[in-house]
Every structure is written in structure tokens, then in C-alpha cells.
Structure 1
Amino acid sequence: MAEGTKNPVRFLREVGREMKRVSWPTRKELTKYTIVVVLTIAFFVVFFAVVDLGLSELVRLLLD
């Protein structure tokens, strides 16, 4: 068994200690990263919608 599963209290204390050591992003960095993620997702949504539309039209032309 893993060390942390033998003693849940000890495990949670160690998790708390590790969380204090984490380098958290600032509000400005978090906002910037969120905007980048949303724009990237929007780009891929549009890209795949265009590809899907194009392939649908190609199949329609081939089958007619």
C-alpha cells in the first residue's frame, strides 16, 4: 500500500504543505492564460466547423 493511504491525516498534512510550495499564477497571468485558452478553443471550433462543412459538401457532390 502507498505510504499516504495508511494514514489519511498525515497524507492531508503533506498535501497542505505541498500546496503552500506551489507557485500560483498572479491574477494578471491567470487572465492572460484564460484568454489564450478561450481563443485557441474558438479557433479550433471554427476550423473544424469549416473542415466539416467542406467534407460534407464534398461527400454530397460525390454522391449526387
Structure 2
Amino acid sequence: MADVGKFFREVKSEAQKTNWPTRGKLLSSAGIVLLILVVTGVYFWLLDLGFSNLTSWLLSALGIR
């Protein structure tokens, strides 16, 4: 049981060393992540749209569709 107590004392000690971000830094980082998600989503949407149109055109050109 002494090992369990030591473990939790060390966990508490390490948790006190944690440097939490400020509210502004957190909101700024979250905004950047959301922006990257939107840009990436639009990129893949356009890529999907292009490949879909290319596939439709190719199938029509080959008389399959």
C-alpha cells in the first residue's frame, strides 16, 4: 500500500507543475484549429466534387452510364 500512496503523491506533485494556458491562449489555439478544420474540409469537398465530376464524365464518355 505504501507504493500506492507514493504514486498518488508523485501524481499530485507532477500535476502542480502543469502550466495551464490562459483563456486567451486557449481560445486562440481553438480558433486556429477550427480554421484549419474548415479549410481542410473545403479542400476535400472540392477534391471530392472534382473527382466525382471527372468520374461521371469518364463513364459518360465510355458509354457506361
TM-score between the two structures when normalised by the length of structure 2: 0.79
Q: Aligned pair count? A: 58
Q: Which of 1 and 2 has higher RCO (CA within 8 Å, sep 6+)?
A: 2
Q: Secondary structure at the match of 1:22?
A: coil
In 2, the alpha carbon distance for the partners of 1:44 and 1:36 equals 12
Q: Does 1:23 align with 2:29?
A: no
Q: Does 1:9 align with 2:20?
A: no
- Runs (4 or more) in structure 1 with deviation over 6 Å come to none
In 1, the alpha carbon distance for the partners of 2:4 and 2:40 equals 42
Aligned Cα root-mean-square deviation (Å): 1.2
Q: Secondary structure at the match of 1:38?
A: helix
Specify every segment of 5 or more residues in structure 1 that has no aligned partner in the other structure, as ranges.
1-6
In 2, the alpha carbon distance for the partners of 1:8 and 1:61 equals 67
Query: Which protein shows a greater Rg?
Result: 2
TM-score between the two structures when normalised by the length of structure 1: 0.80
In 2, the alpha carbon distance for the partners of 1:37 and 1:19 equals 26
Specify every segment of 5 or more residues in structure 2 that has no aligned partner in the other structure, as ranges.
61-65
